């Protein structure tokens, strides 16, 4: 590149997030020294995509650890593996997050990042075929017929209605909790999940796999596993988008945002592999490279919010 063009071209900074322990924030009256070294402060809550995706934890990474933004930012991460959206403000298990978000110990954040809904979906999909249709996400062989035409045909219609009602209630409660204190209308950023290949690849002893046993329990033919998994993830993404749109219609200043992970083309794991394969370390958790790819989808929308 000619020197003149180099001098005139815009310089885009790139900053990894600085992690600050939530307990330290509370002990420092909401202002640890790290906050003085960055331009923005973020609160994060969520599941294993924001925390631990394998055992031992050092085997893989997470979305936040691979995220780079134009502005320097500190993130206070309250996420933990297995947490459901329904329990992200639980009074018994999420006291630190609740204190940091609202109440007399709360900090005024520049944005709140969420990774949630995936565990709710997987737990619902894990309910067996002996339960009533409204209590499970997958349809039995008798319910779906002899020749399902798509992944959606494997999903229980009354079961999805139950799940949608559940997710709507907990999503509304989460937004209401944010708006109950000094962080009212502070931007909240959610994300959809990429498509996942069901396969016998656990995160560790006693931790997964998750979708593959459900496919076996409902006698889903192996060639259709990916189509069913993709249909579930697409429905969850659509549901999150509709929930956000409903809040925006009622309150244009609600500051709810969705990062869509699906356009980021992760290499799916091999259906027969029991360990790392493609961009996935196990069945539902990406590798470090996979998370790096996903993190690129966050940069522009979060940069725009933090301006």
Question: Within the chain, what is the greatest distance between any pair of CA atoms?
Answer: 71
Report helix, strand or coil for 19.
Answer: strand
What percentage of the chain exceeds 90 in pLDDT? 88
2: left (phi > 0), else alpha (psi -120 to 50), else beta?
A: beta
Which of 7-21, 69-83, 92-106, 192-206 has the lowest average pLDDT?
7-21
| pLDDT confidence of residue 12 | 67
Strand partners for 46: 115
> 255-279: per-residue pLDDT in tens?
999 999 999 999 999 999 999 999 9
- Is it the case that residue 155 has pLDDT exceeding 50? yes
Task: Spell out the domain ranges in the chain.
Answer: 12-128+175-216+240-306
Asked if the model's pLDDT at residue 306 lies above 60, the reply is yes
∠ Cα 113 55 120 (to 5°) = 45
Once rounded to an integer, what is the mean pLDDT over residues 151-163? 98
Alpha carbon of residue 279 to chain centroid: 17
Q: Answer yes or no: is pLDDT of 126 > 80.
A: yes
Lowest mean pLDDT among 2-16, 59-73, 203-217, 287-301: 2-16
By three-state DSSP, how is residue 206 classified?
coil
Q: Quick check: 76 pLDDT over 80?
A: yes
Mean pLDDT for all residues in the chain: 94
pLDDT category of residue 84 using cuts at 50, 70 and 90: confident
Better-predicted residue by pLDDT, 93 or 75: 75
Predicted local confidence at residue 3, as pLDDT: 46
CA dist., res. 290 & res. 280, Å (int):
7
**Token pair of 97 as six digits:** 């997050």
For residue 114, count CB atoms less than 10 angstroms from its CB and return exposed for 0-12, middle for 13-18, buried for 19 or more: buried
Q: Identify the architecture of domain 12-128+175-216+240-306 in CATH.
A: 3-Layer(aba) Sandwich (3.40)
Q: Which two tokens stand for residue 254?
A: 């609600």
Nearest 10 degrees: Cα torsion 49, 54, 59, 65: 20
pLDDT tens digits for range 27-50 = 999 999 999 999 999 999 999 999
């Amino acid at each position: 590149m000619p020197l003149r063009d180099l001098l005139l071209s815009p310089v885009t900074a790139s900053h990894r997030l600085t992690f600050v322990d939530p307990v330290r924030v509370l002990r420092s009256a909401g202002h640890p020294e790290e906050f003085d070294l960055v331009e923005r402060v973020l609160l994060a809550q969520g599941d294993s995509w924001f925390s631990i995706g394998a055992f031992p934890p050092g085997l893989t990474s997470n979305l936040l650890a691979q995220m780079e933004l134009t502005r320097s930012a500190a993130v206070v991460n309250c996420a933990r593996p297995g947490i459901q959206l329904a329990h992200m403000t639980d009074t018994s298990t999420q006291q630190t997050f609740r204190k940091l978000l609202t109440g007399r110990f709360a900090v005024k954040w520049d944005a709140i990042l969420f990774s949630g809904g995936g565990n709710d979906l997987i737990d619902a999909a894990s309910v067996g075929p002996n339960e009533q249709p409204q209590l499970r996400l997958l349809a039995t062989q008798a319910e779906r017929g002899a020749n399902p035409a798509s992944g959606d045909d494997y999903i229980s219609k009354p079961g999805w209605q139950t799940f949608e009602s559940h997710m709507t209630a907990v999503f509304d409660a989460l937004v209401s909790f944010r708006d109950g204190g000094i962080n009212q209308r502070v931007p909240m950023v959610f994300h959809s999940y990429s498509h996942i290949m069901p396969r016998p690849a656990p995160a560790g002893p006693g931790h997964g796999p998750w979708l593959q046993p459900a496919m076996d329990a409902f006698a889903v033919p192996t060639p259709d596993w990916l189509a069913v998994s993709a249909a579930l993830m697409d429905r969850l993404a659509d549901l999150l988008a509709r929930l956000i749109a409903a809040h925006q219609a009622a309150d244009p200043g609600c500051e709810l945002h969705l990062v869509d992970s699906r356009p980021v083309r992760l290499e799916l794991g091999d259906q027969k592999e029991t360990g790392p394969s493609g961009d996935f370390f196990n069945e539902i958790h990406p590798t470090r490279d996979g998370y790096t790819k996903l993190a690129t989808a966050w940069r522009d929308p979060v940069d725009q919010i933090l301006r």
